[in-house]
Chains A and B, each alone.
Chain A
Amino acid sequence: MTLIDFANPTKFLTFTTRALPWLAGLTAILLAIGLYQSAAAPDDYQQGATVKIMFIHVPNAWLSMFVWAVMSAASLGTLVWRHPLADVAAKSAAPIGAAFTFLALVTGSLWGRPMWGTYWEWDARLTSVLILFLMYLGLIALWRAVEDPSRAARAAAILTLVGAINLPIIKFSVDWWNTLHQPASVFRSGGPTLDRAFLIPLLVMGVAFMLLFLTLHLAAMRNEILRRRVRSLQMMQASRSAA
C-alpha cells in the first residue's frame, strides 16, 4: 500500500482497523515503562520529588504544539491539494490537542505552586500556551457551528494556519522575554541539560504520549469518516423519501 492509497477513505478505514490494536498495545506498554521509570527516578537536588510532574507536563506541552503543527500541515492539504482526508485529520486532532494543552497548563500550574510560589503568572510562555488552548476551543466551536463539513473545512484551515504563528512564539518565548518559566532543557542547540536519570524517563514518556496521540487521532479520524458516511446516507434517504 502506497501513501497515495490513504487518500481513499475506504482504504484508510481498512488500514486503521488493522493498525489500531497494535498501536494501542504498543502505547500501553510504553506508557507502563515510562510511568515505572518516572516513579523510580531520583528526586532532584533542588525540586525534590516535584520533578516527577515534569514526566507528564513536558510530553503534554510538546504535544500541545505538535498537534497544532499536524493540523497546520493538514490545513495545507485542504487548501492546496484538497486531499479528501486532510480536513478529517484536522477536525479530529483539535479536541485531542485541546486536551493535551489543558493538561500542560494544569500540570504546569500544579508544578509551579510549590516551585514558584504561584499557580499562575502572566509571563510570555504561560500566556502564549493559554492562547493556544483558547485557539483550540475556537476551532472546535467553528467546526460545530457549520453543519456542512466541507464548508467548515476551508474556514478552519485558514484559522489554523493563522494560529500557527503562535507556535514559534511559544517555543522562543523563554528566550525572547524574561520569563518565570525555565528555558528549553531538552531540544536546544547545545544538547540536553538534563541528567540521564531524568532525560531517559522523559523521552520514554514523550514517545509514549506521541503514540497515544497517533492512536487516538487515527481512531477519531475513523469516527469522522463514518460520521460523514452516515450524513451522506441520511441525505440520500431523505431525497428518496421526498421523490
Chain B
Amino acid sequence: MSLVTSLGPYASFIVTAYLLATAVVATLIAWIAIDYRSQTHRLRALDESGVVRRSGRSATEL
C-alpha cells in the first residue's frame, strides 16, 4: 500500500498500466498453453484411432 501511495496523485494511472500489462501477458501465456494442450489432445486422439504419419511415426511422436 505504501508503494502505491508513494506514486503520488497519478498512482491510479501507473497501477492501471502495470495491471493491464500483467493481464495481457498472462492472457497470452494462458492462450498459448491452452492451445498446446488442445493440439496434443487432438494428436493423442488421432494416435489412438490408428492414424500414422507418412513417415510411419505415430501422431504424438516428435
Contact = CB atoms under 8 A, between A and B. Distances in A.
B35 to A, nearest CB: 5
Interface string A32-58: 000000010001000011101100110
Nearest to A92: B32
A111 B54 CA distance: 54
A111 B28 contact: no
Contacts of B16: 110
Contacts of A223: 32, 35-36, 39
Contacts of B20: 103, 106-107, 110
A68 B6 CA distance: 37
Contacts of B25: 99, 212
Nearest to A55: B18
Contacts, number: 97
B51 A236 contact: yes
Interface size class of B (residues with CB under 8 A): 35 or more
Interface string B41-54: 01100100101011
Interface string A76-118: 0000000000000000000110010011001100110110000
A219 B51 contact: no
Interface residues of A, number: 40
A222 B6 contact: no
A116 to B, nearest CB: 12
A208 to B, nearest CB: 11
B40 A226 contact: yes
Contacts of A10: 62
Interface string A1-30: 000000000100110010000000000000
Contact of A60 (B21, B31, B51): B21
A69 interface: no
A17 B25 CA distance: 21
A48 B10 CA distance: 9
B39 A219 contact: no
Contact of A49 (B10, B43, B51): B10
A50 B14 contact: yes
B46 A230 contact: yes
The winner among B11, B21, B43 for most chain A CB atoms within 10 A is: B21
Report the 3 A-B pairs with minimum CB-CB distance, sorted nearest first.
A226-B39, A49-B7, A114-B10
Interface of A: 10, 13-14, 17, 39, 43, 48-50, 52-53, 56-57, 60, 95-96, 99, 102-103, 106-107, 110-111, 113-114, 212, 216, 219-220, 222-223, 226-227, 229-230, 233-234, 236-237, 240
Given A53-B14, A107-B20, 4 more contacts: A56-B17, A103-B20, A220-B35, A223-B39
